[in-house]
Chain A
Amino acid sequence: MRGIVKRFPTVVALDNVDFKVRKGEIHALLGENGAGKTTLMRILYGMYKPDAGEIIVEGRRASIGSPRDALKMGIGMVHQHFMLVDKLTVLENVALFVEEGFRISFNGIRSRMEELSKTYGLKIDLNAKIWQLSAGEQQKVEILKTLYRNVKLLILDEPTSVLTPIESEELFKSLRRMVETGKSIILITHRLNEALTASDSITILRKGKVVAAEVKPREASRLDLVNMIVGRPLEFKPRINNARKGGKPVLEVERLRVLDDRGLIAVEDVSFVMKEGEILGVAGVAGNGQRELVEALTGLRRVEKGTVKIMGMDVTNSPPKKIIRLGVAHIPEDRFRYGVAPDLSVAENMIMKLYGEKFSRGIFMDAEAIQRETEKLVQEFEIVAPSVNAPVSLLSGGNIQKLIVARELSINPKILVASNPTSGLDVASTNYVHWVFHRLRQAGGSVLLVSEDLEEVLALSNRILVMKEGKIVREFGGGVSISEVGLAMTAGAA
């Protein structure tokens, strides 16, 4: 791609970008939220038209007007949000994606799919319905779909954001097999470790410009990358050593049992106490009951057995409103399910937690206060939005996450329940959020940090609980090593 320029009504998203991928390599594309990574790849995949510049595929100038053109040229893309039909089976979803006249030969597709999944180590039940699959399995379906179309270049947009560490490893193994058969892969990511360990070459974008191209991972350190991505050194170094001793308990959970959506036991016999002024980490492979635990604590899911006490008050099965009023903020795992109403404006989403208190007088809303507060938070958290009155659906995933974090912290919580709070955030924003958590702790607040990012949990938490199969299997103090926690997550109970 040469000299690519793309302007959006309010910003220049890409400013004269050159980008090159060689045959048979995994090329990592790094950058912060809004650096232009996804935009650049969407141009390559024909979803956007560039305002200037040209795309050269295998030595020839290509005109890619639509994803259909891109696929014909052997370029495929797996988006961050999957494009699958929930109620159909894997096989039917692949059939939808295949353009071969009017008749569909399911047997033909099945045998090809079986062959492909064997070749690349992407095991999947072709008859399963999409909604029955985990995010990681759905991703395999997306990848197989593109492989079915014989892509030569596969673009993956933040593929590991939905994966567990083990699934990520498997994914990279499959990707390695693909490049061995001569395919090329572009990996959009902001996880530095991935770029350093899994890629052959790295390009870094910052604010729509290329700051480094074709960096060899062997020749670069983590710190070099951070400096190139952010353009300045990071301000906050997480510290964990100043927890208050003997703080009052703020959250007491006793012998909790919670069911999942299918009615099976997801959390069983979980008890713990969180104290004033501490960050309590909950580590675990995704799907071991963390989501159900968080939802039960915040009033979104029924508690079958056991009690939840907040500030000494029994709030078992209390409505969310009561729990919010006690000063509990919640950064949800699934930002689109709970976090925002996409068609509503940035301002309307920003006031969702305090609309009844801070932003209203009597039964009327206080439009002026809403405007003022939203603008303040948008600035403080550097949320990139066309305006505070624009619908949230126009924001990028990272900026939506920032909005949610900003909103939850704006209620001055005593307890913050945070599920993967920095998922989808770039290095600088992650650092900022960590700093805010730290500040909250210094001010006597407490954070229940549920995260799949072990480094994050270890860097911030005073204590760490490890969840496995709905139970708390280990508790660690600070200063534990990543491998110890990792082992507890995957191995048997200790």
Chain B
Amino acid sequence: MEIRLERRQTVSRRINISSRILAVLLSLPLIGLLFAAYGVNPVDAYLRIFTGAFGSPYGFCETIVKMLPIGLCAVGLTLAYRARVLNIGAEGQLIIGSMAATWVALYSGLPQSIIIIVMLLAGFIFGAAWALLPALLKSRLNVSEVIVTLMMNYISLKLLDYVVTGPWRGLTQWGFPQTDPFPSYARFPMIVGTRIHYYTLILLLASTLILYVLMKRTKIGYEVKVVGGNPDAAKYAGISVTKNILLVMLVSGGLAGVAGVGEVAGIHGRLIRGISPGYGYTAIIPAWLGGLDPLATLIASFFISGLMVGGDAIQISLRLPSSLVYVFNGMILLFIISSEVLAKYRIVIKIGGSRIWI
């Protein structure tokens, strides 16, 4: 018997999807070992995760609530990653977006009728601006965007800590590191009986659709793809690499900023320390899991959010450490990246004269 890899002549959509599903499935037994090490029956744990996330109306809605920030960051990242601009800074861009919206809500003194629009715009603009610096450094001086965006996450985190413990600390908050609550006109309405702030949901669905069409059908999408495929060839074809790097960074940063607005105006109603439990990092997983396709990424975001909600559930009911969910996420990312091999190559198993391939 002989096993080897053969390059696929074409990569079909079916193979792309099935290899990723396989990756997720393969990661399950491995995490199961971890559950077992904690003395928990893995099958039981998975059932609880699943029912916790999708099994009840409450769980389902909470999954959607988490999907809003993760999804917004993730679909934005698909565009950047297509151009091979590896933005790791969605977390920081989200935080800056939430801070900008908070300033508008509490300190701008703008009329009630336009305040929500301005908050969203401010979130987008400041999120985008936070991505502008790494974009400029990359396009002008060829500085690695991975390092710069990552470092800027820490800067934004410290800025957030500073404002909520310093100048913006709420007078009515008994010294907690958070701002005063937003006035009601600066808060996003929710679908009754849930915490789903539907403005953000609409924005998520709209941006997913727009990015999908943008990438598949438009000149901009084509340019981004060529820049990602070979920047020198792009230059040679008359495509501005600088312009495209700026574009994808501004869009992905802006969408992360909007996600931040949703968190302060939709969920917390104020700015708090630790506004994001790592949504911007988590979003990297669905972007790759969805094969950098916005629609698939939206679905993957839903799935990953469910995992987080389910993770919360087992944390409480099985007394497992919450970081296990992050181990879970990391494991899945590892498997997805490895599964790229399966998408590009086929496994050929030869037994005697017969040939079986997958």
- Complex Cα distance A352/B223, Å? 9
Chain B residues with CB under 8 A of A339: 233, 236
Chain A residues with CB under 8 A of B225: 341, 344, 348
Which single residue of chain A is at the shortest CB-CB distance from B226? A341
- Complex Cα distance A356/B219, Å? 7
A344 touches B9 (CB 8 A): no
- Complex Cα distance A353/B239, Å? 9
Smallest distance from the beta carbon of B132 to chain A beta carbons, Å? Answer: 22
Q: Say whether, besides A319-B238, A352-B237, A390-B10, A337 and B232 are in contact (CB < 8 Å).
A: yes
Chain B residues with CB under 8 A of A330: 236
B9 touches A355 (CB 8 A): no
Q: A493: CB under 8 A from chain B?
A: no
Q: A338: CB under 8 A from chain B?
A: yes
Q: A10: CB under 8 A from chain B?
A: yes
Pick the contact of B218: A298, A324, A364 (CB < 8 A): A364
B240 touches A319 (CB 8 A): yes
A386 touches B9 (CB 8 A): yes
Chain B residues with CB under 8 A of A8: 9
Task: Report A324-353 CB contacts with B as 1/0, cut-off 8 Å.
Answer: 110000101000011111111000100011
Pick the contact of A348: B10, B220, B222, B236 (CB < 8 A): B222
Q: Say whether, besides A364-B217, A365-B218, A320 and B10 are in contact (CB < 8 Å).
A: no
Smallest distance from the beta carbon of B174 to chain A beta carbons, Å? Answer: 53
B7 touches A394 (CB 8 A): yes
Smallest distance from the beta carbon of B79 to chain A beta carbons, Å? Answer: 15
Which single residue of chain B is at the shortest CB-CB distance from A10? B9
Interface positions of A from 372 to 415, Cβ below 8 Å from B:
386-387, 389-390, 394
Chain A residues with CB under 8 A of B229: 341-344, 348
B233 touches A389 (CB 8 A): no
B238 touches A365 (CB 8 A): no
A360 touches B219 (CB 8 A): yes
Which single residue of chain B is at the shortest CB-CB distance from A321? B238
Q: A264: CB under 8 A from chain B?
A: no
Q: B158: CB under 8 A from chain A?
A: no
Task: Report B194-236 CB contacts with A as 1/0, cut-off 8 Å.
Answer: 0000000000000000000000011111110110011011111
- Complex Cα distance A344/B236, Å? 15
Chain A residues with CB under 8 A of B217: 364-365, 367
Residues of B in contact, count (CB < 8 Å): 24
Smallest distance from the beta carbon of B99 to chain A beta carbons, Å? Answer: 34
Which single residue of chain A is at the shortest CB-CB distance from B7? A394
A355 touches B236 (CB 8 A): no
Q: A215: CB under 8 A from chain B?
A: no
Smallest distance from the beta carbon of A346 to chain B beta carbons, Å? Answer: 11
- Complex Cα distance A389/B236, Å? 22
Chain B residues with CB under 8 A of A352: 226, 233, 236-237
Smallest distance from the beta carbon of A360 to chain B beta carbons, Å? Answer: 5
- Complex Cα distance A332/B236, Å? 9
A344 touches B226 (CB 8 A): yes
A9 touches B237 (CB 8 A): no
Smallest distance from the beta carbon of A342 to chain B beta carbons, Å? Answer: 7
- Complex Cα distance A344/B230, Å? 9
- Complex Cα distance A8/B218, Å? 35
Chain B residues with CB under 8 A of A386: 9-10
A341 touches B218 (CB 8 A): no
Smallest distance from the beta carbon of B251 to chain A beta carbons, Å? Answer: 15
Q: Say whether, besides A338-B232, A343-B229, A389 and B10 are in contact (CB < 8 Å).
A: yes
Chain B residues with CB under 8 A of A49: 4
Q: A363: CB under 8 A from chain B?
A: yes
Q: Say whether, besides A9-B9, A348-B226, A390-B10, A363 and B232 are in contact (CB < 8 Å).
A: no
Interface positions of B from 335 to 353, Cβ below 8 Å from A:
none
Chain B residues with CB under 8 A of A343: 229
- Complex Cα distance A394/B223, Å? 22
Smallest distance from the beta carbon of A407 to chain B beta carbons, Å? Answer: 9
Chain A residues with CB under 8 A of B240: 319, 321
Interface positions of A from 24 to 42, Cβ below 8 Å from B:
none
Which single residue of chain B is at the shortest CB-CB distance from A352? B237
B9 touches A320 (CB 8 A): no
From B218, B234, B238, name the one whose CB has the most chain A CB atoms within 10 angstroms: B238
Chain A residues with CB under 8 A of B4: 49
Which single residue of chain A is at the shortest CB-CB distance from B220? A363
B220 touches A341 (CB 8 A): no
B218 touches A300 (CB 8 A): no
- Complex Cα distance A320/B235, Å? 7
Interface positions of A from 288 to 345, Cβ below 8 Å from B:
298, 300, 319-321, 323-325, 330, 332, 337-344
Interface positions of A from 97 to 145, Cβ below 8 Å from B:
none
- Complex Cα distance A199/B162, Å? 77
Pick the contact of B235: A300, A325, A389, A390 (CB < 8 A): A300
Which single residue of chain B is at the shortest CB-CB distance from A354? B237
Chain A residues with CB under 8 A of B232: 337-338
Pick the contact of A320: B7, B218, B219, B238 (CB < 8 A): B238
- Complex Cα distance A419/B218, Å? 32
Interface positions of B from 299 to 339, Cβ below 8 Å from A:
none
- Complex Cα distance A339/B222, Å? 16
Interface positions of B from 9 to 33, Cβ below 8 Å from A:
9-10
A340 touches B233 (CB 8 A): yes
Chain A residues with CB under 8 A of B221: 365
Chain A residues with CB under 8 A of B226: 341, 344, 348, 352
Which single residue of chain A is at the shortest CB-CB distance from B236? A338
- Complex Cα distance A394/B344, Å? 11
Smallest distance from the beta carbon of B242 to chain A beta carbons, Å? Answer: 11
- Complex Cα distance A477/B7, Å? 50
- Complex Cα distance A10/B223, Å? 31
Pick the contact of B222: A298, A353, A365 (CB < 8 A): A365
Chain B residues with CB under 8 A of A387: 9-10
Chain A residues with CB under 8 A of B235: 300, 320, 338
- Complex Cα distance A134/B226, Å? 29
From B7, B225, B233, B235, name the one whose CB has the most chain A CB atoms within 10 angstroms: B233
Which single residue of chain A is at the shortest CB-CB distance from B84? A343
Pick the contact of A300: B7, B9, B236 (CB < 8 A): B236
Which single residue of chain B is at the shortest CB-CB distance from A360? B219
Which single residue of chain B is at the shortest CB-CB distance from A295? B236
- Complex Cα distance A8/B222, Å? 31
Q: Say whether, besides A360-B219, A363-B218, A363-B219, A341 and B233 are in contact (CB < 8 Å).
A: yes
Task: Report A58-74 CB contacts with B as 1/0, cut-off 8 Å.
Answer: 00000000000000000
Please list the residues of chain A having a beta carbon within 8 angstroms of any beta carbon in chain B. 8-10, 49, 298, 300, 319-321, 323-325, 330, 332, 337-344, 348, 352-353, 355-356, 360, 363-365, 367, 386-387, 389-390, 394
Instruction: Sample 5 A-B pairs with CB under 8 A, ordered by A number.
Output: A10-B9, A323-B238, A340-B233, A344-B225, A352-B236
Q: Please name the 4 residue pairs, one residue from A and one from B, whose CB atoms are nearest each other, closest first.
A: A341-B229, A321-B238, A341-B230, A338-B236
Please list the residues of chain B having a beta carbon within 8 angstroms of any beta carbon in chain A. 4, 7, 9-10, 217-223, 225-226, 229-230, 232-240
